[in-house]
Structure 1
Amino acid sequence: MSKLSGVLFDFDGVLSSVMDRLGRPFFQVYKKIRPTATKEDILFSLRDIVELLMRTEKGGRFYIPKMIIKISQLLQFNFLESFQFFVLMMLQMRQTQHVVFPIPGGNSVLGFATKRFKTALVTSAKRKVIKNAFRVIPNLKQVDIVITKEHVNYIKPNPEGILIALKKLGLQPEECVFVGDLPVDIIAGKRAGVTTIAVVNFQWAAQGKHQMLAANSPEYIINTITELPSLLEKIENIHRKL
């Protein structure tokens, strides 16, 4: 077996918190529509939304409006509530869509990975989001290759972005791992022939997300991104022995 030479990262949900970007506006809008809702009610709804997000391919044209409509249906809003939810969420998301909320420990993990391996970022996020991320996740600047939505014709689960990154890094699939947080990431990684690492990174519905990721048979599952360095060392040792 070839030695471990490359680590490829997804962005949203791995290094940047999607739930901070989506969850904060959701809390505010939900309370406006249903003022009597408790925090527990909202968190319960968020768990259902996470499952919906995990079943839905990220990115694509009109992704955010479509997701807002699906979420309003999931929450069983009436017509007026659905209209309010759509308008208010679109306004909130317009303000936060390019804002990056770093996941704790992610910057340090990038520092570890970029010093020991060739690295790439393969994301469905737009170039503008990643440009903003450079300011709040400094070690992202040390990543060798960045593949954004603008670089591909097809987003994950299509493996195009991963395959482009491998070619630019000059590495073979068996030399690399891909770290993602959604089933589409794991599927894309498997189609590209790399070792897949699923990261849960979600405290509100960790068990449900773990089960959904496990159903796609990643080679490894970790609970948080901070567990990645020790796992990479473990994988390195396995490669050395084979």
Structure 2
Amino acid sequence: MKAIIFDFDGTVANTLPVNYHSFQTVFKKYDDKDFTDEEIKEMFGPVEPVIIQQQLEHSDKESAIEAFYQTYEDKHSDLVNANSEMDDLLRSLKDKGLKLGIMTGKSRRSLDISLEKLGMRELFDVIMTGDDVSEPKPHPEGVLKAIDQLGVSMGDVIFLGDSDSDIEAGQRAGIRTVGVHWLPEVQTKEFSHQPDQTFENISDFVDFLEGAKTRLR
């Protein structure tokens, strides 16, 4: 194995709470509507500005989009805790010479905020966001683009994610998939698309990597 591609929200960082809060703030402010976390989750797929353009009834959509990003940045430190175990995992993988990538449906702007706040910007060799693809997950476009930019073969990379769309995207791309439920907030509690492996905690994944280097090649 030469590379690992990660989903971001719910996989690398517990950023779903700040996502929910930022959308809820915008819909309350502009449309006076209250949405639950689950209702917000159902909107996921496109990047955040497109979600607002599609779902918001208020005419001033550009202002609402700016309000989303401002809330996301302002509340990030309050709602997203740094995860030393994940940070250690990523740094250990880098030290071992693995290439690391992100394939997320987030916009680049919100991902940049999160990477900056969490001190993770320098850990990833390739970053693929919802802004970089014409088709969101579960379409495999973003995964395939990330693999191409990483410069590795299909058999030398795995894709980790917490949602069905992650697993389906990896499967449609033709690579090994790993389903993870190791953060407090995840997008899919039970996978309908079965990944090759599943892990409930980071330490078990580390043990798996240590014991399966040959098998993963």
TM-score (norm 1): 0.66
Q: Which has the larger radius of gyration?
A: 1
Separation in structure 2 between the aligned mates of residue 55 and residue 182 of structure 1, nearest angstrom? 14
User: Which sections of structure 2, spanning at least 5 residues, go unmatched?
Assistant: 59-63
Match of 1:146, SS state, is strand
Cα RMSD after superposing both structures: 3.4
Deviations 1:72-118 (A, max 9, x none): xxxxxxxxxxx9xxxxx989745433565356232222112222211
Equivalent residue number for residue 219 of structure 1: 196
Equivalent residue number for residue 210 of structure 1: 189
Is the deviation greater in 57-66 or in 186-195?
Answer: 57-66
Contact persistence 2:133–2:141 (CA under 8 A)? yes
> Taking structure 1 as reference, are residues 176 and 94 closer, same or farther at Cα in structure 2, changes over 3 Å only?
closer
Structure 2 counterpart of 1:172, one-letter code? S
1:232 aligns with 2:209: yes
> Taking structure 1 as reference, are residues 203 and 142 closer, same or farther at Cα in structure 2, changes over 3 Å only?
closer
Contact persistence 1:111–1:139 (CA under 8 A)? no
1:123 aligns with 2:98: no
Equivalent residue number for residue 107 of structure 1: 87
Question: Of residues 9, 13, 37 in structure 2, which corresponds to 1:12?
Answer: 9
Identity %: 21
Q: How does 1:35-184 map to 2 (within 5 A)?
A: 49=39, 53=41, 57-59=45-47, 62-64=50-52, 93-98=68-73, 100=76, 101=80, 104=83, 105-116=85-96, 117-184=98-165
User: Which sections of structure 1, spanning at least 5 residues, go unmatched?
Assistant: 34-44, 70-82, 84-88
> Taking structure 1 as reference, are residues 62 and 133 closer, same or farther at Cα in structure 2, changes over 3 Å only?
closer
> Taking structure 1 as reference, are residues 67 and 196 closer, same or farther at Cα in structure 2, changes over 3 Å only?
farther
Separation in structure 2 between the aligned mates of residue 225 and residue 123 of structure 1, nearest angstrom? 20
TM-score (norm 2): 0.72
Deviations 1:102-148 (A, max 9, x none): 56232222112222211111112222223223323334413111112
Instruction: Give the aligned length.
Output: 199
Contact persistence 2:126–2:149 (CA under 8 A)? yes
Bigger fraction of residues in helix: 1
Structure 1 residue 56, shift from structure 2 partner:
5.2
